[in-house]
């Protein structure tokens, strides 16, 4: 007896299942990623994982399958992959021998073998465990050259330096502009300074995410290995950068994302990152959202069970995450200290009528003006954060001065140029230097050199400009957050500048919060975003608190802002709006 039929749709890479109503109902319970609406047939992506689950289901409810060979082949692929991943995780398979000028540590030498299983991998090792060296170990493995490294704009030279250190035989080339040019000049000078034909082509091409946009067509299909440093940059689909990264990845054999913070915000961003590395591993977007996510205010989707999803990524070989305890390289402790400081309330009270108008637009309950609301929300957020930063700036500077007077060099993190200007003026005796989005790569290198030489005692860094910077540990053990970011992953990256291999003593991270402006709401929002990423990376670690603030943080700011001025809000006039609290 059979209960229906299963048809393979090669053009859509799907299984179409037609069966009796009760069988379709059972299928939906077994496959939560399937469409849950009523229909005469059900379609699901023909991935190895889904095929294996479908094969198992057909043992209980037999159906006619038009391509049993395809079903069996895909199911066996998943069985073989899962078995090998399990052996690798258990340590039953030794790492391959990799020849490098400085040999990789054993846990780094395992990475090429993990990458070979799914051809795409998120390497989410703890900050400071040497993800760059793990990527270079992949370049030293057979069949992975030439390679392409895509990284933030301030890191190409650091990548070239690391490759030359660990694999000096590899020729590197940093793309100098965003339009295509000949990377191997037709002639070069020999030892006698004579011009001779040049056939040298780079083994490793290094570019920034922005320059990749102009090179995607040229590089696609020419590089078997693509490394995306700070892979959380792939979290935003629909952008030119994302499309370029996806285009190059689709034609590559191996795709590796390096990031200790795979997402900065909500869980649905995991799909965007993984879909570049291993397309269809999570099904299509709709299937992923149905299976793993719940809706959140503001249109974003959260992971329904972040711990279970993290375990799933490991089990499927999609993410490799080792902590310092796992590899026996634990650091001295990092102590996080929240310190309340004063703020000049006059700065916040001085916000003009533009802020009031923006706040009202943010609170409008009208979907017809969604684009206008989004623009207003961004402008209002920037106004409020800058006003909060300016209101705190003199007090932040005084706090940092106390640390500097005790002999401690400090890395000070902020976001707004106007805030930096106050810090530079107030801390002038300590010769502060800047490492922000405004400085060139050479100026940033000079700032770090000045700080490490002791010429400057305070390095002012932008919250999102320091990812990947190495060398501060061992010299500095104190970071101060004078301004906050909405994303906890950014804070973790910042702390990782000093809390990494080479740190000789415990590190301190001060979060300076005021009781006004954006700080109170940001502190709450950071709670929910931290829960999303931490539970995925460390499934055994439960956070003490999960705060349901969601995407309404700007609406809360807008409401508080108007209320303090004694002004009515749109929500008070619109009974259809459901209060957040």
Which pLDDT score is estimated for 189? 56
Which pLDDT score is estimated for 542? 35
Which pLDDT score is estimated for 571? 46
Which pLDDT score is estimated for 367? 45
- Residues of the chain with pLDDT below 50 are 362, 365-371, 373, 541-551, 571-581
For 357-367, write each residue's pLDDT tens digit. 555 554 554 44
Which pLDDT score is estimated for 551? 41
Which pLDDT score is estimated for 170? 92
Q: Tell me if the pTM is above 0.75.
A: no
The answer for residues whose C-beta is within 8 angstroms of residue 319's C-beta and 6 or more apart is: 121, 122, 123, 124, 262, 310, 313
User: Can you tell me the distance from the alpha carbon of 266 to that of 213, in angstroms, rounded to the nearest whole number?
Assistant: 26
Which pLDDT score is estimated for 326? 75
User: Can you tell me the distance from the alpha carbon of 326 to that of 185, in angstroms, rounded to the nearest whole number?
Assistant: 46
Element containing residue 317 per DSSP (H, E):
none
User: Can you tell me the distance from the alpha carbon of 487 to that of 236, in angstroms, rounded to the nearest whole number?
Assistant: 15
For 161-197, write each residue's pLDDT tens digit. 899 999 999 999 999 888 888 886 655 555 666 655 5
Which pLDDT score is estimated for 581? 29
Rg (alpha carbons) of the chain, rounded to whole number:
26
In three-state secondary structure terms, 581 is coil
Question: What is the edge-to-edge ordering of all strands in the sheet holding 507-513?
Answer: 334-340, 507-513, 478-481, 410-414, 458-462, 433-435
Which pLDDT score is estimated for 578? 31
Own/partner long-range contacts of 428-433 (Cβ < 8 Å, ≥24 apart):
430/401, 430/404, 430/456, 430/457, 430/458, 431/455, 431/456, 431/457, 431/458, 432/456, 432/457, 432/458, 432/459, 432/460, 433/458, 433/459, 433/460
Residue 27 CA, chain-centre distance (Å), reads 34
């Amino acid at each position: 007896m059979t209960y229906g039929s299963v048809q393979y749709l090669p053009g859509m890479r799907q299984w179409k299942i037609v069966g009796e109503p009760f069988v379709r109902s059972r299928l939906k319970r077994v496959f939560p990623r399937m469409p849950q609406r009523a229909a005469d047939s059900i379609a699901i992506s023909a991935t190895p994982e889904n095929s294996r689950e479908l094969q198992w289901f057909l043992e209980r409810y037999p159906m006619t399958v038009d391509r049993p060979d395809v079903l069996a082949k895909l199911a066996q692929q998943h069985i073989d992959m899962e078995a090998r991943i399990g052996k690798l995780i258990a340590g039953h398979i030794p790492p391959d021998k990799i020849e490098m000028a400085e040999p990789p540590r054993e846990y780094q030498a395992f990475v090429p073998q993990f990458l070979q299983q799914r051809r795409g991998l998120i390497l989410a090792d703890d900050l400071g465990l040497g993800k760059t060296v793990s990527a270079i170990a992949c370049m030293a493995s057979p069949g992975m050259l030439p390679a392409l490294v895509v990284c933030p704009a301030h890191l190409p030279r650091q990548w070239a330096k690391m490759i030359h250190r660990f694999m000096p035989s590899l020729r590197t080339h940093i793309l100098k502009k965003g339009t295509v040019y000949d990377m191997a000049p037709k002639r070069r000078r020999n030892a006698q300074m004579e011009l001779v034909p040049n056939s040298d082509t780079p083994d490793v091409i290094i570019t920034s995410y922005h320059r990749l946009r102009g090179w995607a067509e040229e590089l696609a299909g020419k590089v078997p290995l693509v490394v995306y440093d700070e892979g959380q940059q792939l979290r935003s689909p629909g952008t030119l950068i994302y499309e370029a990264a996806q285009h190059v990845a689709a034609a590559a054999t191996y795709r590796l994302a390096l990031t200790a913070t795979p997402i900065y915000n909500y869980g649905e961003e995991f799909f965007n990152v993984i879909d570049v590395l291993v397309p269809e591993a999570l099904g299509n977007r709709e299937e992923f959202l149905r299976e793993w996510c719940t809706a959140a205010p503001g249109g974003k989707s959260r992971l329904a069970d972040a711990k279970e999803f993290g375990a799933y990524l490991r089990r499927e070989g999609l993410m490799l995450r080792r902590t310092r305890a796992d590899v026996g390289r634990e650091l001295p402790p990092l102590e996080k200290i929240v310190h309340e400081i004063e703020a000049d309330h006059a700065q916040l009270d001085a916000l003009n009528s533009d802020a009031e108008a923006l706040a009202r637009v943010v609170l409008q309950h009208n979907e017809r003006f969604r684009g206008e609301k989004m623009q207003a929300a961004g402008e209002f957020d920037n106004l409020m954060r800058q006003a909060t930063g300016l209101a705190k700036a003199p007090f932040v500077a005084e706090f940092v001065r106390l640390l500097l007077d005790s002999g401690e060099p400090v890395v000070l993190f902020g976001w707004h140029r106007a805030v930096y200007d106050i810090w530079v003026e107030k801390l002038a005796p300590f010769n502060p230097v800047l490492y922000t989005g405004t400085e060139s790569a050479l100026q940033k290198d000079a700032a770090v050199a000045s700080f490490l030489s002791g010429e400057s005692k305070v390095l002012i860094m932008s919250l999102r400009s320091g990812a990947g910077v190495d060398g501060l540990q061992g010299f500095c053990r104190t970071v101060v957050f004078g301004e906050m970011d909405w994303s906890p992953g950014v804070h973790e990256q910042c702390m990782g500048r000093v809390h990494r291999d080479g740190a000789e003593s415990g590190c301190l991270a001060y979060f300076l919060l005021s009781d006004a402006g954006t700080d109170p709401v940001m502190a709450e929002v950071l709670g929910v975003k931290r829960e999303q990423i931490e539970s995925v990376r460390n499934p055994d670690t439960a956070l003490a608190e999960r705060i349901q603030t969601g995407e309404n943080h700007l609406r809360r700011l807008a409401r508080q802002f108007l209320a303090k001025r004694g002004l009515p809000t749109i929500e008070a006039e619109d009974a259809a709006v459901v209060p957040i609290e």
